Amino acid sequence: MLEAQGVSVTFGAQQILRDVSFSINEQEFVCLVGPSGCGKTTLLRALAGLTPVSSGRALFKGAEVHGPQTALAVVFQDYGRALLPWRTVAGNVALALEARGIPTKEHPARIAPLLAKLRLTDHADKFPSQLSGGMQQRLQIARSLAQEPQVLLMDEPFGSLDAITRQELQDEVARLAKDEKRTVVFVTHDLEEAIYLGDRVIALAAGSDDRAGRVAEIVSIDLPRPRQQLGTREDPRFLEYRHRLYRHLGH
Amino acid sequence: MGAVLPIFVLTVWEVLARMGVISEDGFSRPSRFFVAGAKALADGTLLEQTGQTFAAAGQALAMAAIAGIALGALLGLFRPLERAAQLTIDALRPIPSVALIPLSLLLFGFSRNMSAAVAAFACFWPILIVTISAVRSIDVRLIEVGRLLGFPLPKIIAKFALPAALPAIFVGIRVAAGIAIVVTVTTEIVTNPRGLGFAMTMSAQSLQADLVWATLLWVGVIGWLVNWGLERLERRWLRYL
């Protein structure tokens, strides 16, 4: 479905990604982890077609990605910057429908189920500034789903939320990905979040040597679904994965 | 609360004028110019003049806003264009708008267009400059969202860039609205035989100090009303802030 073939990205003299290769299957939930500055956001942006690769190729369904395409939706960490403050909740979701050229009279029927799915129905007429952080992020997710993408590329989507909201949203995203049969690439610096959510975890290496920006390890996560905030995290295998991946986070 | 100071000033003025401390030839006195103003309002001349000034200033503001926002958005989005236009802007902007009165008179004669053209020139710059900087400082993230959703560039400008710049553009329009009235009245005082400016010149020449004062205060009231209206509009349009 999604593939990186020897992707390298250089900004000026700085090499961010080196020869990154992996492939992601349809309906797979893959988490990208690594310490800050390891290039995981850059990798996600390269997959989305937002950041051009210096060498190598990013592929979607076998075709090279040259720029953004609607089959690939991106959910940014900073929801405050990604939502249109002058549009209501419903208006922000409608944006994705407008982009797809869907007639305005069909909008309400398409927006309502999405808002229901993300528990925003009661807030349809509010502006983003009137919502909590968690609600704003759910709105961004609703909008990306309205785009009807095949792949959701999520860049530390819960990075600036409190722990409880975060766990709620983790379970929601896991459920959505399964119900909606989407492929998800999920960037996080939180190892436990990556193991909890992922079918596979790709760890990127950091540091000042030439290992930095390479794939350090790819681990398949063999934990039963649906995952449970308590049960899964106490599973011996969970702890084992955590031990195994921990050293890649610069410790 | 804000009315206390003007009421105090007018009262002192009235008392001093009645005592003969200040000359009624030039200063008139509040009770007289309220009467003169009421008379001019009642016989319709003041409203007619107001309409003329208002139409010219409104036309100027509309032309300046359309040109300023369109050009400002273009220059704000495309850096090379802005560099190419910089010299022209820097050379034209310092020209005092009133220096255009003779030229405008030549082009448009004694007409509304004559005043509007001069005022539009004056209004254009603040709107242009505010729009350029507002569009340039738009968060790139919003533009990325537009691209990711699949909008073509013109739609990104209309749905993302301009609304994002709107609060700043509004500030430019409010500044320009004040300028529009000032410059329009100036053209009327200097040459154009219409509107409130001309009315003041005429009453001064016929030594009607009360009517000069009345018209002057009326211009102040009009300016205040325009600003109030724009603020209301702003609150409506920008209620998400």
Tell the burial category of A244 from Cβ atoms under 10 Å away from its Cβ (0-12, 13-18, 19+): middle
pLDDT tens column, A51-64: 999 999 999 999 99
pLDDT at residue A251 is higher than 60 = no
| Cross-chain residue pair A48–B151, CB shorter than 8 Å | no
Contacts of A100 in chain B (CB under 8 A): 150
Contacts of A147 in chain B (CB under 8 A): 148-150
Q: Identify the weakest region by mean pLDDT among A3-12, A199-208, B132-141.
A: A199-208
pLDDT for the residue numbered B238: 84
pLDDT tens column, A14-44: 889 999 999 999 999 999 998 888 889 999 9
pLDDT tens column, B31-80: 888 899 999 999 999 999 999 999 999 999 999 999 999 999 999 988 89
Count contacts between A and B (CB, < 8 Å). Answer: 57
pLDDT tens column, A154-189: 999 998 889 998 999 999 999 999 998 999 999 999
**pTM over cut 0.95:** no
Task: Determine the average pLDDT of the residues in A198-204.
Answer: 95
Task: Determine the average pLDDT of the residues in B197-213.
Answer: 92
pLDDT tens column, B89-100: 999 999 999 999
Of A48, A50, A99, nearest to B149 by CB-CB distance is A99
* Nearest-by-CA chain B residue for A89: B240
Task: Determine the average pLDDT of the residues in B222-229.
Answer: 91
Task: Determine the average pLDDT of the residues in A210-235.
Answer: 89
ipTM higher than threshold 0.95: no
Mean pLDDT of chain B: 92
Beta bridge pairs of residue A151: A72, A183
pLDDT for the residue numbered A250: 67
* Nearest-by-CA chain B residue for A83: B142
Contacts of A99 in chain B (CB under 8 A): 149-151, 155
**Residue A245: both structure tokens together:** 């991946």
A160 or B179, higher pLDDT: B179
Specify which of A89-98, A154-163, B198-207 reaches the highest per-range mean pLDDT: A89-98
pLDDT for the residue numbered B186: 95
**Read out DSSP for chain A?**
-EEEEEEEEEETTEEEEEEEEEEE-TT-EEEEE--TTSSHHHHHHHHHTSS--SEEEEEETTEE--S--TTEEEE-S-HHHHS-TTS-HHHHHHHHHHHTT--GGGHHHHHHHHHHHTT-GGGTTS-GGGS-HHHHHHHHHHHHHHT--SEEEEESTTTTS-HHHHHHHHHHHHHHHHHTT-EEEEE-S-HHHHHHH-SEEEEEP-SSSTTTTSEEEEEE----SS--TTHHHHSHHHHHHHHHHHGGGT-
Name the CA radius of gyration of chain A, rounded.
Answer: 18
